Structure 1
């Protein structure tokens, strides 16, 4: 979906000076409560979280990535060429020793859960003790409370917006000395969002329907699904497109009963597709089969009218791919209402 990012991943070296050619300006950045001064840009990076991997690729920094972990699915087509040689340390959380063995000068994590106060991989202090700097995606700490929520994803004190992604792009652009690339990437994303909003506005202007639910996964297909609250990335996607998320809570991914969802009767259902198979509902085909056969869910308007939209799971987590979701959902809604 993110076709406009290909130029950053494939042509960055030709369009912008290398670190050795450019004059690097030392920069001090506060990141999730940790302040670091960078005298030189990082040269060896381990990314823990697919968003961090994709963001560095979009900035043309694939040669700096010495290891990756935590994957939900394939890279988008525009980044596959740049990312084809990446080393995967683990599909999910890597071991501390596996990360350190790559001799990184930076570990960039998408989630505090992996690198934080009680990080599954390690704490920031453990890495600092070895002289390794760390970075956590601002979207996972700014305006977010990890003690809230029903399944460990936490809740938000302030609703997520793509400004947090723009802030991260800007900060990493400064840290790596590629501010021109960062500015161009952010501008491209803003333009794509504006175009998707126009598409959705045209599709919905003669239709009153605009309620949506986002189903990520669940431990059992007939159990309470994990659906998006209104303050996380899907909430921003819905608001951006003029839709109303029927799950109005600050929790990012609460478990909500199908009976409750059916009573609110969404006009559209967005399903997360992923390669991960930790739970039965990770499989989008099983999600679809359940929705169409269960006596409660099959009576919902969205199921009866087949207004079901499938997007990559990564596009429902705070990331560059939120723009992909905005585009894909707006295009599908437009197709629903034009009959195409």
Structure 2
């Protein structure tokens, strides 16, 4: 009889736990989390930005891997402690006692940290921004909408998520109106100069961002996310504009210095005529600010058209 009572109690507890779990879709799989999350970790800067915009507030207990350090102050990012300059160790991660870990890139849950399945086995839920999922489509703006909707659901902020989506769509519409009827400008995106001229091909988000702003990626015919371009190939394409990522690990000023001092690259018309645009690295990732970035980029490209 006592065993039956114990089993009944166990089943009742399991039923309560099952009903209290919040289920959500991410990267094409089903996940669950105890609702709502109270201790959240963001493992990349752009995932932290999204959580803050959704009102995570004091629930965001730590961030890691800040690419643009302009908002850093005394070891904090927008008031949130920075627990690691890059990805934290597993020991550091588990010591935070998080109930939700959000990553911006797939690398956040691979070599540097425990896998999402392992985290789940320890009672820690996880979310990877849809653009970081394996095999994701090229509908980057659709993925941003999905991130906002899902995380808005988990944070009990669906109205705020809808407002952010509406604002992004309004900015995209305004950007499209600015370049309507115009011939797209050719743009070379320089992500990093550390190990050659790193750029993106058709599958990179910057290609979609440039398209939304009224331009075309000079190397969009390469069916890849990332690629390295040699000087000779770049000179043959001779883009009208060069877009420079400004990151902690590869500042835009260093890229400008390379372009202007290199005997071959300095002959590019975009360099000779100073049609270079700097944008912070995290603004060149698919985030809730991507509509605003596309609009601002469309305005800057419209101004540059007058010098062509």
Q: Distance in 2 between matches of 1:53 and 1:75?
A: 15
Aligned pairs (5 A) from 1:110-125: 110-115=104-109, 118-125=110-117
Please report the RMSD computed on the Cα atoms of aligned residues, expressed in angstroms.
2.3
Does the 8 A contact of 1:270 with 1:308 survive in 2?
Answer: yes
Using a 3 Å threshold, how does the CA distance of structure 1 residues 76 and 323 change in structure 2: closer, same or farther? farther
Using a 3 Å threshold, how does the CA distance of structure 1 residues 331 and 50 change in structure 2: closer, same or farther? same
Does the 8 A contact of 1:29 with 1:35 survive in 2?
Answer: yes
Q: What SS does the aligned partner of 2:117 have?
A: helix
Any unmatched runs of 5+ in structure 2?
A: 1-18
Q: Distance in 2 between matches of 1:321 and 1:178?
A: 18
- Per-residue deviation, residues 143-182 of structure 1 (Å, max 9, x unmatched): 34xxxxxxxxxxxxx4242110001100111111110110
Aligned pairs (5 A) from 1:146-165: 158-165=137-144
**Aligned with 2:214 (options 242, 245, 250):** 242
The answer for the alignment partner of 1:283 in structure 2 is: 251
Shift in Å at residue 142 of structure 1? 5.5
Using a 3 Å threshold, how does the CA distance of structure 1 residues 87 and 272 change in structure 2: closer, same or farther? same
Does the 8 A contact of 2:178 with 2:302 survive in 1?
Answer: yes
Aligned pair count?
A: 285
User: Under a length normalisation based on structure 1, what TM-score does the superposition of the two structures give?
Assistant: 0.78
Moved more, 87-96 or 239-248: 239-248
Q: What SS does the aligned partner of 1:169 have?
A: helix
Any unmatched runs of 5+ in structure 1?
A: 1-23, 145-157
**Aligned with 1:49 (options 44, 49, 70):** 44
User: Under a length normalisation based on structure 2, what TM-score does the superposition of the two structures give?
Assistant: 0.85
Q: Distance in 2 between matches of 1:60 and 1:251?
A: 35
Structure (1/2) with the larger strand percentage? 2
Structure (1/2) with the larger helix percentage? 2
Q: Distance in 2 between matches of 1:321 and 1:301?
A: 30
Shift in Å at residue 335 of structure 1? 1.9
The answer for the alignment partner of 1:214 in structure 2 is: 189
Shift in Å at residue 209 of structure 1? 6.1
Is residue 96 from structure 1 mapped to residue 71 from structure 2 by the alignment?
A: no
**Aligned with 2:203 (options 228, 231, 238):** 231
Does the 8 A contact of 1:315 with 1:324 survive in 2?
Answer: no
Shift in Å at residue 26 of structure 1? 6.1
Shift in Å at residue 326 of structure 1? 1.1
